[in-house]
Amino acid sequence: MTSFSIHGVGVSSGIAIGQAHLVSNALLEVVHYQLPNHLIDDEIERFSNAIKTVKYDLEQINHSLRKSAPAEISAFISTHLMMLEDKSLSEIPKDIIKNEQCNAEWAIKLQMDDIVDQFDQIEDEYLRERKQDVIQVVERIIKVLLGHPSQLPIEQQTSVVHQERKLILVAHDISPADAIQFKQHQFAAFITDVGGVTSHTAILARSLNIPSIVALQRARDLINDGELIIIDGDLGVVIVSPSKEILAEYKLRQEQWELEQQKLQLIKTTKAVTIDGTHIELFANIEVPDDTAAAKASGATGIGLYRTEFLFMNRREMPDEEEQFIAYKSVAEAMKGAVVTIRTLDLGADKQMNPDSIVNCANPALGLRAIRLCLSEPSIFHTQLRAILRASHFGNIKILIPMLSTLAELRQTKLLLERAKISLRQENIAFDEHIALGGMIEIPAAALSAEAFAKELDFMSIGTNDLIQYTLAIDRTDDTVAHLYNPLHPSVLKLISMTIKAGEKFGKSVSVCGEMAGDSKLTKLLIGMGLRQLSMHPSHVLSVKQQILHSQISQLNENARKILGLTDIEKIEPLIAKFNLH
- Residue 390 belongs to a domain: yes
Q: Could you tell me if residue 481 is inside a domain?
A: no
Q: 150 and 30: one domain?
A: yes
Q: Is 76 exposed, middle or buried (0-12, 13-18, 19+ CB in 10 A)?
A: buried
Asked if residue 123 is part of any domain, the answer here is yes
The answer to whether position 497 is within a domain reads: no
Q: Are residues 150 and 35 in the same domain?
A: yes
DSSP 509-533: EEEE-SHHHH-GGGHHHHHHTT--E
Helix (H) or strand (E) holding 460: strand 459-462
Strands (E) in 355-421, as ranges, are 396-401
Please, what sign has the CA dihedral across residues 549, 555, 560, 566? Answer: negative
Is the distance from CB of 535 to CB of 398 less than 8 angstroms?
Answer: no
pLDDT score for 180? 53
Compute the distance between CA of residue 199 and CA of residue 505 in angstroms, rounded to an integer: 39
- Provide the edge-to-edge strand list for the sheet that holds 228-232: 4-7, 237-240, 228-232, 15-22, 167-171, 189-192, 212-214, 9-12
Show which residues are catalytic: 200, 513
Please indicate, yes or no, if residue 303 is contained in any of the structural domains: yes
DSSP helix/strand/coil, 142: helix
CATH code, domain carrying 370: 3.20.20.60
Same domain, 322 and 237: no
Sorted by sequence, the CB contacts under 8 Å of residue 319 that are 6+ apart come out as 311, 312, 327
Asked if residue 517 belongs to a domain, the reply is: no
- Same domain, yes or no, for 67 and 14? yes
Looking from the CA of 349 toward its CB, the CA atoms found within 13 Å total: 17
Q: Are 245 and 48 in contact (CB under 8 A)?
A: no
Q: What is the pLDDT of residue 580?
A: 79
Q: CATH number of the domain that 227 lies in?
A: 1.10.274.10
Among 321, 381, 330, 326, which residue's Cα sits nearest to residue 351? Answer: 381
* Pair 231, 285 in one domain: no
pTM of the model: 0.70
Cβ atoms of 242 and 216 closer than 8 Å: no
- Domain check: are 149 and 296 in the same one? no
Q: Tens-of-pLDDT digits for all 582 residues of the chain? A: 689 999 998 888 889 999 998 876 666 667 788 899 999 999 999 999 999 999 988 888 878 776 656 666 677 788 888 888 888 899 999 999 999 999 999 999 899 888 888 877 777 666 666 777 888 888 889 888 877 544 443 333 333 334 445 788 888 877 655 655 554 556 788 898 887 665 556 666 665 667 889 889 889 889 987 899 999 998 999 999 999 999 999 999 999 888 888 899 999 999 999 999 999 999 999 988 988 998 999 999 999 999 998 788 656 678 999 999 999 999 999 999 999 999 999 876 333 344 444 455 556 567 788 899 899 999 999 999 999 999 999 999 999 999 999 999 999 999 999 999 999 999 999 999 999 999 999 999 999 999 999 999 999 999 998 899 899 998 765 656 666 778 999 999 999 999 999 999 999 999 999 889 988 999 999 999 999 999 998 888 999 999 999 999 988 999 999 999 999 989 998 888 887 776
- C-alpha–C-alpha distance, residues 268 and 264, integer Å: 7
Q: Dihedral, CA atoms, 200, 70, 349, 122, nearest 10 degrees?
A: 20
* Residue 427 shares a structural domain with residue 324: yes
104-140 in b/e form (b: 16+ CB < 10 A) is bbbbbbbbbeebeebbeebbbbbbbbbbbbbbbbbbb
Are residue 233 and residue 342 in the same domain, yes or no? no
Q: Is 108 in the same domain as 201?
A: yes
Residue 263 phi, psi (nearest 5): -65, -40
In this structure, are residues 377 and 343 in contact, taking their beta carbons and an 8 Å threshold?
A: no
Residues 236 and 348 in one domain: no
15 close to 250: Cβ distance less than 8 angstroms: yes
pLDDT for residue 347: 79
- The boundaries of the domain holding residue 135 are 4-243
Angstrom distance (rounded) from CA 513 to CA 286: 11
- Spatial contact of 132 and 195, defined as CB atoms under 8 Å apart: yes
Q: How many domains does the chain have?
A: 2
Are residues 218 and 90 both part of a single domain?
yes
Asked whether residue 201 is assigned to any structural domain, the reply reads yes
Across the chain, how many H-helices and E-strands are there? 27, 16
Alpha helices, H only, 228-377: 244-264, 292-297, 309-312, 321-334, 371-376
Choose one of 410, 441, 472: the last residue of a domain.
441
User: What is the Cα–Cα distance from 32 to 54, expressed in whole angstroms?
Assistant: 22
> In 3D, which of 287, 386, 407 has the Cα closest to residue 346?
287
Which residue among 441, 459, 490 closes a domain?
Answer: 441
Domain boundary residue, one of 387, 406, 441? 441
Look at residue 114 and tell me if it is in a domain.
yes
Does 311 lie in the same domain as 238?
Answer: no
CA-nearest of 30, 37, 44 to 96 is: 44
